[in-house]
Amino acid sequence: MQGLIVDWGGVLTMPIHTAIASWLKVTGVDRDHYGAVVRRWVEPLPGDISPVHRLERGEIAVEDFEHLLSAALAQEGSTVEAQGLIGQMFADLAIYEDSMTSMVTRAHAAGVRTALLSNSWGNDYDRTDWDQMFDAVVISGEVGMRKPERGIFDLALDRIGLPAAECVFIDDVPDNIEAAVEAGLVGIVHRTFDETAGELAALFPGAGWIHQRIH
């Protein structure tokens, strides 16, 4: 293996459901109301247009999505202000998960080709030190494609400059991993650092950057 491609939210950050739970508690939005809206939008029925998919591809503005989400939640029975909604929802994701980010940084320093491949809800990323972590960055809203679409994996491979069979992709969403495997990459569903590090150790034998600590 020569390449390591990683997701952002839920891999380099805390689990997304943890961040959302914090936002639900602060705003008082009912968990079931939020879940009902997001399920309809993340897995739309055939023929339905998903605001989530459109946002992730950069086809609608964040402000327009915020109004759509606020209105949909209101129909379920939860009221929340539209303005600034996305920033509030993902506020806790600004805190990077040190073990994973450190490992990616070490891999990059060791000569492994590294890339970020993220579906964005238009939320801002703290890109500090990204030049020390990644050789390439692919953000869905900036390229007009989203995971699990095949094209976005092909683009990430093109930017990292490696064939699919030489790259490992890490994501916390099983459907995205399935799509990556279909595209020829080796996939790891991320649950914990220790599990992911163990799978990487089998794929990169003798790689000190996996468990090494920075002093």
* Residue 66 within a domain: yes
pLDDT mean over 210-215: 62
- Split into its structural domains, the chain has a count of 2
Quick check: 215 pLDDT over 50?
A: no
Do 37 and 11 belong together in one domain? no
| Domain C-terminal end among 91, 124, 142 | 91
Does one domain contain both 116 and 169?
Answer: yes
Same domain, 24 and 108: no
For the segment 52-56, the average pLDDT, to the nearest whole number, is 97
Q: Which of 75, 91, 107 is the last residue of a domain?
A: 91
What CATH number corresponds to the domain at position 126?
A: 3.40.50.1000
Give the SS3 label for residue 20.
helix
pTM of the predicted protein model? 0.94
The chain-wide mean pLDDT, for the chain, equals 94
Q: Are residues 9 and 104 in the same domain?
A: yes
* Percent helix, strand and coil across the chain, each to the nearest 5: 50, 10, 40
Full domain range(s) for residue 20:
16-91
What is the DSSP annotation of 138-172?
EEHHHHT--TT-HHHHHHHHHHHT--GGGEEEEES
pLDDT, tens only, 143-175: 999 999 999 999 999 999 999 999 999 999 999
Q: What is the pLDDT of residue 212?
A: 67
Which residue is it, tokens 């030190």? Answer: 129
